[in-house]
Chains A and B, each alone.
Chain A
Amino acid sequence: GNSVTQMEGPVTLSEEAFLTINCTYTATGYPSLFWYVQYPGEGLQLLLKATKADDKGSNKGFEATYRKETTSFHLEKGSVQVSDSAVYFCALSDRGSQGNLIFGKGTKLSVKP
């Protein structure tokens, strides 16, 4: 079945450091891919998405490119801020099941001043 694998956290970085959170997927067909972010005590917010191969999603300085050849959707940011501290979830949309999202296990990011 479809699945998403994320790098395990927690990840601790200093402010202005470069961030990469790896995400790979297994899916039949061509799912849409998403990154969601969960700030402490809050619900999930869509961060960015890509719907087909080679698409790049971007938002708030974060980027991820849909790589079909490596089945990956790694999240990157050039310079993190303390306010980016959150849990990040990679997900794919299971088109065969009303678009249910299949999530990775989440990666907790802590950014220190």
Chain B
Amino acid sequence: DTAVSQTPKYLVTQMGNDKSIKCEQNLGHDTMYWYKQDSKKFLKIMFSYNNKELIINETVPNRFSPKSPDKAHLNLHINSLELGDSAVYFCASSGGGTKETQYFGPGTRLLVL
């Protein structure tokens, strides 16, 4: 029943590792997003993607890459993790009749040691 789901909910890993966070939406939306929330609760867009276009926030390091196997999924892959990558990552989606309203997943809390 969950509209936007993310796995895992918590992720603890060592510096230098590569990790992925998965996101799935069952709302039939055509646009998906990744946001990063830092320790001060500030939220910033990382990527937005629909089946035609990927828009990347220019401040996002190229160690971060979104991968979309199909319209319902947008996974986030992170190479060579750094301490500063520790944050909460939120996936969201939008589309249909309420195109501008985004629906958020529960977040993935990433801690890099």
Contacts and interface: CB of A to CB of B under 8 A. Distances in A.
B101 interface: yes
A99 B102 contact: yes
Q: Which of A38, A97, A108 has the most CB of B within 10 A?
A: A38
Contacts of B35: 101
Nearest to B54: A98
A43 interface: yes
B104 A44 contact: yes
Interface stretch (B12-20, B40-48, B65-73, B75-83): B40-48
B74 to A, nearest CB: 12
Interface residues of B, number: 25
A86 B53 CA distance: 34
A67 interface: no
Contacts of A87: 41
Contact of B55 (A34, A100, A102, A106): A100
A98 B100 contact: no
A97 B35 CA distance: 14
B101 A100 contact: no
Nearest to B45: A100
B58 to A, nearest CB: 12
B90 interface: yes
27 contacts: A32-B100, A36-B104, A42-B107, A43-B104, A44-B92, A44-B104, A45-B104, A46-B101, A46-B102, A46-B103, A51-B100, A87-B41, A93-B100, A97-B48, A97-B55, A98-B50, A98-B53, A99-B48, A99-B99, A99-B100, A99-B102, A100-B45, A100-B48, A100-B55, A103-B44, A106-B41, A106-B42
Interface of A: 32, 34, 36, 38, 42-46, 49, 51, 87, 89, 93, 95, 97-103, 105-106, 108
Given A100-B33, A100-B55, 14 more contacts: A32-B100, A34-B101, A43-B90, A43-B106, A44-B104, A45-B104, A46-B101, A49-B100, A99-B48, A99-B94, A101-B33, A101-B102, A106-B42, A108-B41
